[in-house]
Structure 1
Amino acid sequence: MAFSFGYSPWLLLLCVAVAGGLTYWTYRATVPSLSAGWRLLLGGLRFLALALICFLLFEPVLQQFRSTERPPVLAVLVDDSQSMQVVTAEDTSAARPNAARTSVRPVLDALQDEAMPGTARFFRVGEASRALSGGIIDSLRFDGARTDLASGLQAAPEELRDENLGGIVLVSDGQYNTGQNPLRVADRSPVPVHTVTVGDTARQRDLRVQDVSTNDRAYLNSSVPVRVTLSVTEGPGQPVPVTLEQSGRTLDQRPVRLPDGTGEVSVDLTFEPEQAGLQQVTVRVPELAGEVTTRNNAQSTSLRVLESKRQVLLLGAAPAPDVSALRRVYERTADTEVTARIPTPDGTFLEGPLPDDLSAFDVVVLAGFPSPSVPDDVVQRVATLVNDGTPALFFLDRQTDLAAWTEHFEASLPARPDASTSSFAEASFRIVESARQHPVFRIEGAEGALFERLPPLQVPASAWTPTPDAQVLGTAATTSAAPLLVLRRRAGLRTAAFLGSGVWRWALLPSELRAADPLWPGLASNLLRWAGTEADDSPVRVRPTASTFGGTDAVSFTGQVYDQSRQPVSDATVKVTVTDSTGTEYPYTMDPTGQGRYTLDVGTLPEGTYQYEAQAQLGETDLGTDRGEFSVAPLRIEYQSPRADAVLMRQLASRAGGTAYTPETIDRLPAELAGQASFSSDVVQRSSEAELWRTSLFLIAILALLASEWTLRKFLGLT
């Protein structure tokens, strides 16, 4: 305990001495005269009041110091995930929580023994870490669908930051599948980490569906390939059937011979979807005799089934290499069906006349079309189709009738020529710097910078002027920088113009430009995909954050709401109704986040395919609706490695300065902890301060002293 003052204590003594002198001078003689006893009493009351006032004016602070001994704390992290059921099962039946409890119990009993130094704090580790209390063994369910060991190792020191944490014990099978590598966390651990490896480390017989891959999109009544990879441990070398099924109905089945021992084998399955929409299929293999678990013998995947392929009408100016280069690319695109018509000098078309009904086409590709030989009524039919809203790609050719372009396609062309005829000159293609990240230039296997190394194009000498709402993505590598690739979006209609001839050279590159081979097919495909993508101009847009959610992933949505003026609406009521395959409806309301944006977290849903419908209202006014679908797949990641990883557990303990144990050797831990200097009690010095000059008791005492003096003076008749 100690005192401190805001000013020098010598000055305080001087002030007290002055107060004493003033008191003596006041009561050395009184009128009427008083006895020495009364004068001493009155002087004492005044002196004490003045001394207290001086004492408080110097801001006295009382400091107190306390020492507290803290026992060491041991954080015990227990793996509560599903994989613990598998690695601890004593038979080959389905995994059970009781088997895991039986294996973990001796470890927990040893850590709770009276001989254990310090205090143990228990935590559950799975997808997240949380403290355990009460009956520890009864609190464990071993049902976590993921294992994040790193987050548990990070959470324990944070949770116990105010206690004397002396060490961490991790009780686990060592199988992690979420979060960062626990070895990296162990390197930075502030205390030693001891590990207890639970479960069988030996390879046991297990057959699992390792991977299922298929197309993201498919079409009705078309064959869809499904590639299945099986992984087997201690395989019997016998054939097993691999079944592809949907809602309990078998779509395809193929036998495959498993390796003898450990290995992988692949098999190809096919099916023809009969319904459009988001479809979920499951690959299943039978149980092997003596298999450690059957929870990984099936795996599901989802794909979106469309009613038909994209219908493309390809119209050329004449039989020419550029038309062939375009046709080859589009006919090799899986989701595209091409109808090509090439005019002849007599006004007819190769491969048959123009179809009577053009409304069935999704995109029109004008590869130089029309040439002067094309009848005017045919040009007018195609122009009406494009001007009415069908996406179109314009590819300029030396034989293109520019007068027909400006006369019939003026409403949809992204750029207009200054003259109806033009000469051509050679120039290289250059991407506009601000457009390098545009989706049409995202070409897998090649860099956009290679465009300037491609053979030069035939570029029109006359000027072309882009429309005000158009975007120039590519120019000629000349001083004029004439536009070569122009895109336009107007009221949901997408059109693009490629104003250079000779792209066939890009399709037949020499060997020294082999790195640029993907550029032409990639650019042509991306332009077609960009033009054929429907612009979403609906006032209400609600989408799930994923088309397929894992079994324990929270299903969530994002949304946007706009009014008729395309202004965001931030105070609308957006209701979302989720419907499962049985017709059961789950109503929800989205939360606004500002600027017309909304979010919704539904939580986890059972496995299956779901549909949703969103409706937005502002008061009594309906703003619009949106609908879609998503699926929830079963999550079996915990069953992909049905054996304990003792190597990882030993490495983790070694890198964190701890020791690796097993359930058979864990009884050595108490004695070893007692001998470690790091696992010992510490003394914490705590200090507290009391600002006496803020204490009301002193003010009361001063008032009481002064009041007593005043009362006595009146009683004694002093003046």
Structure 2
Amino acid sequence: MSVIYLIIAGVVALLAALWQYRKAKGKSPQHLLFVFLRFLSVYAILLLLINPEFRKITVYEEKPELAIVADNSSSIPYLNQQQQLGELLTALRQDKELAEKFSIHDYTFGTQLRDGGNNDFKDRHTDLSQALKIFRDIYRDKKGAVIMLTDGNQTYGEDYTYTSRNFPVPVYPVVLGDTTIHEDLRISRLNVNRYAYYKNKFPVEVILNYEGKSDVQSVFRIRSGNNTVFSRKVNFSEEKRSEIIEIHLDAATKGSLTFHAELVPLDDEKNTRNNIKEFGIEVIDQKTEVLVVSAMTHPDIGTLKKSIESNEERNVTISKPELPVSRIDNYQLVILYQPDTRFEKVMQHIEKTGKNTFIISGIHTDWDFLNKVQHNFTRDPGNLTEEAQGSFNASYPVFALDDIGFSQLPPLRVLFGDVAIHHPYETILFQQTEGIATLNPLLLTTENNHKKTALLLGEDLWKWRMQDHLKNGNADQFDKFVSKLVFYLASNKKRNRLETAYETIYDGTSPVVISAQFFDNNYVFNPEASLHIRVTDKEKSTSRNYPMLLRGNYYEADLSDLEAGAYTFGVRVDGENIQRSGQFRILEFDVEQQYTRANAVALRKLAGHSGGMVSYQKVSDSLYLTLTRSDLFKPVQKSKEEKVPLVDWRILLFIIILLLSAEWFLRKYRGLI
């Protein structure tokens, strides 16, 4: 079709030129020249209007890619390798042969992989496997290589020697740090429960390790303040390299307790930081008791028990609805699973005493019965069922919750139809059917006359916990969600306009985060407030202020830059005479400082699995030769075809101007103007 348009444009341009010079006498060369110039200029203008497309083929060479990846964890300065790493980076970046042969990209890794820049060595964890997984995706269909400058000590994630199997490009580790084996004692692991109960004993399991060839003796002890609460002599040798000690300590006082575990160093031991470990527990007076009442056997019952008891402050009892109703008074929260007429006495007692409840309905729930025995909500009975996923309400105002990816979790089985709620309520999850979110609630909470009630309109909750475990390797996200819901429902504490959430002890490895919620006079969450937190070091008596940032339906302050120690804090709201305070402790522990030498063995496996080679302390000459001379890293010639519209050819506009100017100049010169 474009060819036809071009022919028509040529005919039109020729006729236009002949018509404009029709009065010229004769057919002199001068006359034909003017006709030709006019024809060309008009034809060029018509071409711009038609704007045909032309295929443009570009041939180019694509260089192989070279990723230079630098370890940014705190173990690098601990091993005194930060200067060596800086010199290696400078040499690689300035090498002309590498720059000519490769397209070079800089990265750093520690807790996560980032674009390269200045290394600050502040990452508290090394996750080398996560970096390798990203490079696996990047170089899946490309030619290239990875140079990794690291000590090879990984403190988080899966074993990177496994991740490196069948890697698409060769990895060339450059080992930073001493590879000599020194005699070293260390506390490899210390396991302790997060909570203990007042005047009870709590277990502590300690795994001690030795690296060396001599027969050595030491003492392991645990102190609380200035008192030694446990001490034992330990012996190690080349044959006996580890010992497991199981201890039971007394929880003699309520509140937060911290302990100092120490394995006395050898006389010539090089690294003594891994001989010390602090740990803490929270001593509580009693557990929160939760009662689950169900007349049927269902996987949801076990799921609820596991999720609630993942927090050691809580205990779950499962019972049939025929239990003596007086026992209900011993529980802070009653979960009613798919109630029917057998729950009559239980429901009557709950209505009488105002006990907080969590009602879970499903396809076996007797809504005729439920409509009669409580007045919070009603629905028309029916047998039709459907499947509904959860759509998280980011504006839920009652307490701080996170979206754990509800819209991606398996659907629950729900009864078809709407529920009428007769008291003010807040929706946590809306129903999402066939990918379309609705305004029908799936999970909601209501509070009336100081009685708290939650309603879940679906069964098969076990699928959510299972999916969380399949996706993340554990069910922590789901368990934390259930834990927060149970904490709210089990508490009879009067609601405050400013609420805070924090841990009393942070172990030094996880982020130090404090969250808060602020409500207006009607207890509606206020996302427009300005919150600040003032943190005071109890030992140094110094204070720092932090802004609290809005995170959905709560405010949050990340205090991970604080050093180990005991702190008090106060959260305040600008323009309001409201403040909440508390205290917490950060234990001293840096997992990156538990190693005295580079892990050359693992790095050799990494290189072997990927087809690379290992260099020590510097980029070896053989590695330079491999990168610059090997046929593995030849550039690839590629072609790219693209359609280019004529209007993008700016030279055509210049030609039009040139033709019109030439015609005007010649006519002026001949005296025709």
TM interval, shorter chain, is: 0.5 to 0.7
Task: Give, in whole Å, the separation in 2 of the partners of 1:75 and 1:481.
Answer: 65
1:269–1:73 CA distance, 2 compared to 1 (3 A): same
Helix, strand or coil at the partner of 2:559: strand
- Counterpart for residue 302 of structure 1: 280
Task: Give, in whole Å, the separation in 2 of the partners of 1:716 and 1:195.
Answer: 80
Q: Work out whether residues 278 and 589 of structure 2, in 8 Å CA contact, stay in contact via their aligned partners in 1.
A: no
Q: Work out whether residues 205 and 244 of structure 2, in 8 Å CA contact, stay in contact via their aligned partners in 1.
A: no
- Counterpart for residue 566 of structure 1: 523
- Counterpart for residue 168 of structure 2: 190
Q: How many residues align?
A: 531
**1:257 is the counterpart of 2:234:** yes
Task: Give, in whole Å, the separation in 2 of the partners of 1:631 and 1:700.
Answer: 75
- Counterpart for residue 2 of structure 2: 7
**1:653 is the counterpart of 2:611:** no
Q: Work out whether residues 165 and 191 of structure 1, in 8 Å CA contact, stay in contact via their aligned partners in 2.
A: yes
Helix, strand or coil at the partner of 2:47: helix
Task: Give, in whole Å, the separation in 1 of the partners of 2:496 and 2:620.
Answer: 64
1:592–1:190 CA distance, 2 compared to 1 (3 A): same
**1:175 is the counterpart of 2:38:** no
Match of 1:49 among 34, 41, 58: 41
Q: Work out whether residues 432 and 474 of structure 1, in 8 Å CA contact, stay in contact via their aligned partners in 2.
A: no
Task: Give, in whole Å, the separation in 2 of the partners of 1:27 and 1:110.
Answer: 71
Task: Give, in whole Å, the separation in 2 of the partners of 1:530 and 1:706.
Answer: 83
- Offset of 1:287 from its aligned partner? 1.9
Q: Work out whether residues 145 and 637 of structure 1, in 8 Å CA contact, stay in contact via their aligned partners in 2.
A: yes
Match of 1:286 among 245, 264, 272: 264
Task: Give, in whole Å, the separation in 1 of the partners of 2:282 and 2:262.
Answer: 21
Q: Work out whether residues 164 and 609 of structure 2, in 8 Å CA contact, stay in contact via their aligned partners in 1.
A: yes
Task: Give, in whole Å, the separation in 2 of the partners of 1:685 and 1:627.
Answer: 66
Match of 1:541 among 495, 499, 502: 499
**1:58 is the counterpart of 2:50:** yes
TM-score by length of 2: 0.63
- Counterpart for residue 583 of structure 2: 629
- Offset of 1:628 from its aligned partner? 2.4
Task: Give, in whole Å, the separation in 2 of the partners of 1:675 and 1:560.
Answer: 62
Match of 2:565 among 587, 596, 608: 608
**1:152 is the counterpart of 2:144:** no
Task: Give, in whole Å, the separation in 1 of the partners of 2:114 and 2:195.
Answer: 41
1:716–1:141 CA distance, 2 compared to 1 (3 A): closer
Helix, strand or coil at the partner of 2:562: coil
Task: Give, in whole Å, the separation in 1 of the partners of 2:622 and 2:198.
Answer: 65
Task: Give, in whole Å, the separation in 1 of the partners of 2:126 and 2:647.
Answer: 57
- Offset of 1:201 from its aligned partner? 5.5
Question: Once structures 1 and 2 are overlaid, which stretch shifts more, 579-588 or 117-126?
Answer: 117-126
In the TM superposition, 1:467-616 aligns within 5 A as 473=336, 480=342, 482-484=344-346, 487=350, 488-489=355-356, 534-535=492-493, 537-544=495-502, 546-551=503-508, 553-581=510-538, 582-595=540-553, 597-616=554-573
Task: Give, in whole Å, the separation in 1 of the partners of 2:257 and 2:343.
Answer: 49
Q: Work out whether residues 278 and 609 of structure 1, in 8 Å CA contact, stay in contact via their aligned partners in 2.
A: no
Helix, strand or coil at the partner of 1:609: strand
1:266–1:601 CA distance, 2 compared to 1 (3 A): same
- Counterpart for residue 204 of structure 1: 182
Q: Deviations over 1:248-286 (max 9, x none)?
A: x34435232233341114264746766x64343322232
- Offset of 1:7 from its aligned partner? 0.5
- Offset of 1:112 from its aligned partner? 7.6
Q: Deviations over 1:586-642 (max 9, x none)?
A: 2223223455x222233411101222222235xx444x4332222222233224454
Q: Work out whether residues 578 and 586 of structure 1, in 8 Å CA contact, stay in contact via their aligned partners in 2.
A: yes
Unpaired segments ≥5 residues, structure 2: 357-447, 454-485
In the TM superposition, 1:60-79 aligns within 5 A as 60-61=52-53, 64-79=56-71
Q: Deviations over 1:472-496 (max 9, x none)?
A: 727999x75544476513755799x
Tell me the amino acid that sits aligned with residue 633 of structure 1: L
Helix, strand or coil at the partner of 1:563: coil
Tell me the amino acid that sits aligned with residue 629 of structure 1: Q
- Offset of 1:293 from its aligned partner? 0.6
In the TM superposition, 1:317-332 aligns within 5 A as none
Task: Provide the alpha-carbon RMSD of the alignment.
Answer: 5.2
- Offset of 1:144 from its aligned partner? 4.5
The structure with more radius of gyration: 1
Tell me the amino acid that sits aligned with residue 527 of structure 2: S
1:534–1:711 CA distance, 2 compared to 1 (3 A): same
- Offset of 1:53 from its aligned partner? 2.7
Q: Percent identity?
A: 23
- Offset of 1:291 from its aligned partner? 1.8
Q: Deviations over 1:14-49 (max 9, x none)?
A: 53245324533553544xx57835533543343223
- Offset of 1:698 from its aligned partner? 4.9
Task: Give, in whole Å, the separation in 1 of the partners of 2:488 and 2:662.
Answer: 96
Tell me the amino acid that sits aligned with residue 126 of structure 1: G
Q: Deviations over 1:538-596 (max 9, x none)?
A: 2211213x44335465432222222343322222222222222133222223223455x
- Offset of 1:296 from its aligned partner? 0.7
- Counterpart for residue 36 of structure 1: 28
Q: Work out whether residues 295 and 342 of structure 2, in 8 Å CA contact, stay in contact via their aligned partners in 1.
A: no
Q: Deviations over 1:106-132 (max 9, x none)?
A: 999799877768346554433334555
- Offset of 1:227 from its aligned partner? 5.0
Task: Give, in whole Å, the separation in 1 of the partners of 2:114 and 2:324.
Answer: 68
1:103–1:264 CA distance, 2 compared to 1 (3 A): farther
Unpaired segments ≥5 residues, structure 1: 1-5, 86-94, 134-138, 311-334, 337-362, 364-391, 394-413, 415-427, 461-465, 496-527
Tell me the amino acid that sits aligned with residue 276 of structure 2: A
- Offset of 1:667 from its aligned partner? 3.1
Task: Give, in whole Å, the separation in 1 of the partners of 2:666 and 2:339.
Answer: 110
In the TM superposition, 1:60-99 aligns within 5 A as 60-61=52-53, 64-83=56-75, 96-97=79-80
1:217–1:180 CA distance, 2 compared to 1 (3 A): closer
Tell me the amino acid that sits aligned with residue 244 of structure 1: R
Tell me the amino acid that sits aligned with residue 628 of structure 1: G
Helix, strand or coil at the partner of 1:175: coil
Helix, strand or coil at the partner of 1:590: strand
- Offset of 1:299 from its aligned partner? 0.7
Match of 2:101 among 118, 122, 125: 118
Tell me the amino acid that sits aligned with residue 586 of structure 1: R
- Offset of 1:652 from its aligned partner? 2.5
- Counterpart for residue 441 of structure 2: none
Tell me the amino acid that sits aligned with residue 232 of structure 2: P
- Counterpart for residue 683 of structure 1: 637
- Counterpart for residue 354 of structure 1: none
- Counterpart for residue 238 of structure 1: 217
Q: Work out whether residues 474 and 484 of structure 1, in 8 Å CA contact, stay in contact via their aligned partners in 2.
A: no
Tell me the amino acid that sits aligned with residue 535 of structure 2: V
- Counterpart for residue 144 of structure 2: 166
1:41–1:588 CA distance, 2 compared to 1 (3 A): same
Q: Work out whether residues 441 and 448 of structure 1, in 8 Å CA contact, stay in contact via their aligned partners in 2.
A: no
Q: Deviations over 1:439-463 (max 9, x none)?
A: 6995799x999967xxx96879xxx
Helix, strand or coil at the partner of 2:44: helix
Task: Give, in whole Å, the separation in 2 of the partners of 1:435 and 1:146.
Answer: 37
Q: Work out whether residues 107 and 663 of structure 1, in 8 Å CA contact, stay in contact via their aligned partners in 2.
A: no
Task: Give, in whole Å, the separation in 1 of the partners of 2:136 and 2:487.
Answer: 52
- Offset of 1:76 from its aligned partner? 3.3
